[in-house]
Amino acid sequence: MPELPEVETICQDLRTCGLIGEPIRGIVVTWEKTITPLSAEEFSGRLVGRAIARIDRRAKYIHFTLDDGQNLLVHLRMTGAFSIRESRCAMDSHDRVAFIYADRELVFHDTRKFGRMTLCTNTCGIFGRLGPEPFDPTLDAEVFHQKLMSHRRMLKPLLLDQGFIAGLGNIYVDESLFAARLHPCAHADELTPAQASNLLMAIRLVLRESIENRGTSLGEGDGNFHSDGRYGSNATRLKVFQRTGSTCPRCSAIIERRVVGQRATHLCPRCQVLS
DNA sequence: AGAGCTGTTACCAA
DNA sequence: TTTGGTAACAGCTC
């Protein structure tokens, strides 16, 4: 579930929780794979006594910078989520890691166990493989067009590729392609400069709108709760994603669902034509 | 009961 | 270089 807008929202919430600068008193790990390759002992040893100095987002990663310069990179994957609990609360069956503070706990909850926390002294190993942030000011229409021209892949799998552009997932790729009136199967190197520019603007518009709505929460799943328990409201603004069979808000054609690159894909067959 | 689906990504093979 | 398949895992829907 969490793509760029959801991770951004979580970072905003975590920054205002008052945990920054507070020393970590203890760590509880109930699912060791979450913190691979470190053991629970190594992980605790390097974090207990430290404090979070800052919290940033890069792509879909939450980047905690510790007060000794270490970096804790958290990827939520499908169902990861953070919440703040009172001290000594019973762990939920899907809680994987808890950071114990003097008066409360920061708990990482992850039903499907795909989420990962990586402790590193240098972020380059992980961030070095990522493409530009969608809002990177140096990523202008011309640069984006050039990037598209150097790939012959279909648009949708390319936009999902975090090495091409970072932060988009299935929801926002479908929404961005709809907004730009581009077919998910169109080939990247066939876009005109105007189409490339439209696509970049569409991506930014769709992401900005979702961030303003605190992200998209789908269904009632527990992957939806944010650190403060509030839900994002962007689901009601989605134009095509999970709206199969409904009418296109632009032309009233029926929204289609098909599989592109092994991913469920939603599009308007009239607005998004393959040229 | 059981099969097939799911918003992510790494890895491997062709 | 790009594509396709699989695996990690659990819950939901039909």
End-of-domain residue from the set A74, A104, A127: A127
CA of A75: nearest nucleotide by C1' is B8
CA dist A244 and A53 (Å) reads 44
d(C-alpha A112, C-alpha A105), whole Å = 21
Residue A111 CA to nucleotide C4 C1', Å? 28
Q: Which DSSP letter does residue A90 get?
A: P
If asked whether residues A195 and A263 sit together in one domain, one would say yes
Are residues A168 and A90 part of one domain? no
Q: For the domain that residue A78 is a member of, what is the CATH number?
A: 3.20.190.10
Q: Which of A102, A67, A74 is nearest to A10 (CA)?
A: A74
Where in the sequence numbering do the catalytic residues of A fall? 2-3, 60, 263
Which residue, A39, A18, A40, is CA-closest to A27? A40
* A245 within domain boundaries: yes
- CATH, residue A185: 1.10.8.50
Domain identity same for A196 and A92: no
The number of beta carbons lying within 10 Å of the beta carbon of residue A162 is 16
Per-residue model confidence as pLDDT tens for chain A (275 residues): 699 999 999 999 999 999 999 999 999 999 999 998 999 999 999 999 999 999 999 999 999 999 999 999 999 998 999 999 998 888 888 999 999 999 999 999 999 999 999 999 999 889 999 999 999 999 999 999 999 999 999 999 999 999 999 999 999 999 999 999 999 999 999 999 999 999 999 999 999 999 999 888 765 444 444 544 456 888 888 999 989 989 999 999 999 999 999 899 999 999 999 87
A3 touches strand B (CB under 7 A): yes
The reply to whether A45 Cβ lies less than 7 angstroms from strand B is: no
Q: Exposed (0-12), middle (13-18) or buried (19+): which is A53, by Cβ within 10 Å?
A: middle
Same domain, A116 and A225: no
CA A79 to the chain's CA centroid:
11
| A93 and A145 belong to one structural domain | no
Judged by C1' against the alpha carbon of A153, the nearest nucleotide is C2
The verdict on A197 and A118 lying in the same domain is no
User: Looking at the structure, do residues A17 and A114 belong to the same domain, yes or no?
Assistant: yes
The verdict on A99 and A168 lying in the same domain is: no
Asked, for residue A154, whether it belongs to a domain, the answer is yes
pLDDT computed for residue A195 by the predictor: 96
Could you tell me which residues come within 8 angstroms of residue A205 by beta carbon, excluding any fewer than 6 positions away?
Answer: A179
Residue A242, nucleotide of least CA–C1' distance: B7
Is any atom of strand B within 7 angstroms of residue A75's beta carbon?
Answer: yes
Compute the distance between CA of residue A198 and CA of residue A229 in angstroms, rounded to an integer: 35
Same domain, A262 and A146: yes
H runs (alpha helix) in chain A: 4-15, 40-47, 124-127, 141-149, 155-160, 170-179, 193-212
CA A216 to chain centre: 11
Is residue A230 assigned to a domain? yes
Give the pairing type, strands A104-110 and A256-260: unpaired
Residue A135 domain-assigned? no
Question: Do the domain assignments include residue A273?
Answer: no
Hey, how many other C-beta atoms are within 10 angstroms of the C-beta on A125? 11
Q: Which residues form the domain of A8?
A: 4-127
Q: Does residue A115 lie in a domain region?
A: yes
Domain count, chain A: 2
**Domain for residue A133, yes or no?**
no
Can you tell me which residue has the tokens 């799943």? A221
Strand partners, A107: A83, A98
Task: Out of A96, A127, A158, pick the residue that ends a domain.
Answer: A127
- A149 with A120, same domain: the answer is no
**Does A136 reside within a domain?**
no
Examine the domain organization and report whether A145 and A87 are in the same domain.
Answer: no
The Cα A240–Cα A235 span in angstroms is 11
Q: What is the pLDDT of residues A92-115, one digit of tens each?
A: 889 999 999 999 999 999 999 999
Looking at A100, A127, A154, which one is the last position of a domain?
A127
Cα of A114 vs its chain's centroid, Å? 14
CA–CA distance, A146 with A17 (Å, rounded to integer) = 42
The verdict on A10 and A86 lying in the same domain is: yes
Q: Is A21 exposed, middle or buried (0-12, 13-18, 19+ CB in 10 A)?
A: exposed
Q: How far apart are CA A176 and CA A35, in angstroms?
A: 33
Q: Please, are residues A119 and A47 in contact by the beta-carbon 8 Å criterion? A: yes
